Amino acid sequence: MSYIDVSDLSFGYTDDSLLFSNITLSFNLGEQVAIIGQNGSGKTTFVKLLNGMLKPQKGRISISGESTSDKSIADIATKIGFVFQNPNQMLFTNTVEKELALSLFRLNIGKKEKDLRIDEMLNFFDLEHYRNTHPRNLSRGEKQKLALATVLIQEPQAIILDEPFSGIDFKQRENLAKYIQILSEEGKLIILITHNIDSILENCSRVIALTEGQITYDLPINDFLMDKTSLSKIGLLPTNYLKMLYKLRNIGLPREIYRKKDLIEYFKQTLKL
């Protein structure tokens, strides 16, 4: 049994045309999974099925062996946290602190534990000095962090992030990647929807590619990188970083080196810097 099991899932926004037909796949704790595909290929729809915002026409989704069909979205949110594409869709109250408290509202935990978790999140995301600020007045990157905090505070074992790297600057992107890394090291399941292919190399161990609701492939990151046509198969272009990696592989770069920091380390050693 995996943490999330999807079996024989079919879904369409209208009854006469299905977007997904008979999809079966599983997600394990500790994995970092990228879901990639062109605009409209079904990435967001798929994860909305996982978190109960949409209900399948056919098939079963279970978390730790328990079917989600009779569970509410709020129940599922304590098991699979979901960070929306647009953080504004997730923020409802008039202070950062209240926003975090709202996420804990339904959980059966005492005030002391709630206060502790709020403090922890403010500290973890470096938002302490914004405790009484209106979320509307936060920058885009800060809103993104707050949205992530409202999810993590519920301590779900799986976290889905839909396009977390869009609209934030390089520094915030690095920070977010760092948080994702910490969560992975804690053994959580991370599902990352992204158009940022380079970020997959840094953060993911498995890549699922969608084309018009079909799974074109579902591969460990190494196999994804072995095939130079991985991206063109789903109508995407390789990034400059990937092109460079392919060229370096042709002249002997070991296959296990593809992350930026490993590449830098490799060159430091080979060039004796």
The rounded distance, in Å, linking the Cα atoms of 37 and 240 is 18
Q: How big is the chain by its Cα radius of gyration, in Å?
A: 20
Q: For the chain, percent helix, then strand, then coil, each to nearest 5?
A: 40, 20, 35
CB of 159 to ligand ATP, least distance (A): 17
* Sign of the C-alpha dihedral computed for residues 85, 158, 133 and 95 taken in this order: positive
Q: Is 59 in the site for ligand ATP (CB under 6 A)?
A: no
Q: Which does 19 bind (CB under 5 to 8 A by kind): ligand ATP, Mg ion, none?
A: ligand ATP
Residue pair 164/194 in contact by the 8 Å Cβ criterion: yes
Q: Is 19 in the site for ligand ATP (CB under 6 A)?
A: yes
Q: Which does 13 bind (CB under 5 to 8 A by kind): Mg ion, ligand ATP, none?
A: ligand ATP
CB of 56 to ligand ATP, least distance (A): 14
CB of 194 to ligand ATP, least distance (A): 9
Nearer to ligand ATP, 17 or 269 (CB): 17
Q: Is 216 helix (H, G, I), strand (E, B) or coil?
A: strand
Nearer to Mg ion, 40 or 254 (CB): 40
Q: Is 203 in the site for Mg ion (CB under 5 A)?
A: no
Q: Which stretch binds ligand ATP (CB under 6 A): 39-47, 107-115, 147-155, 200-208?
A: 39-47
Which of 75, 92, 72, 94 is CA-nearest to residue 84? 92
Q: Is 105 in the site for ligand ATP (CB under 6 A)?
A: no
Answer for which of 1, 13, 111, 269 binds ligand ATP (CB under 6 A) is 13
Answer for which of 32, 41, 44, 68 binds Mg ion (CB under 5 A) is 44
Using alpha carbons, list the distances in angstroms from residue 78 to 3, 153, 197: 13, 9, 29
The rounded distance, in Å, linking the Cα atoms of 245 and 42 is 29
Residue 183, exposed/middle/buried by CB under 10 A (0-12, 13-18, 19+)?
buried
Q: Which stretch binds Mg ion (CB under 5 A): 37-45, 75-83, 210-218, 249-257?
A: 37-45
Answer for which of 34, 43, 100, 201 binds ligand ATP (CB under 6 A) is 43
Q: Which does 118 bind (CB under 5 to 8 A by kind): ligand ATP, Mg ion, none?
A: none
Would you tell me how many other CB atoms lie within 10 Å of the CB of residue 163?
17
Residue for token pair 């830098």: 264
Q: Which does 52 bind (CB under 5 to 8 A by kind): Mg ion, ligand ATP, none?
A: none
Binding-site size for Mg ion (CB under 5 A) equals 1
Residue pair 213/20 in contact by the 8 Å Cβ criterion: yes
**Which residues contact ligand ATP by CB under 6 A?**
13, 19, 37, 39-45
Residues near Mg ion, by CB under 5 A: 44
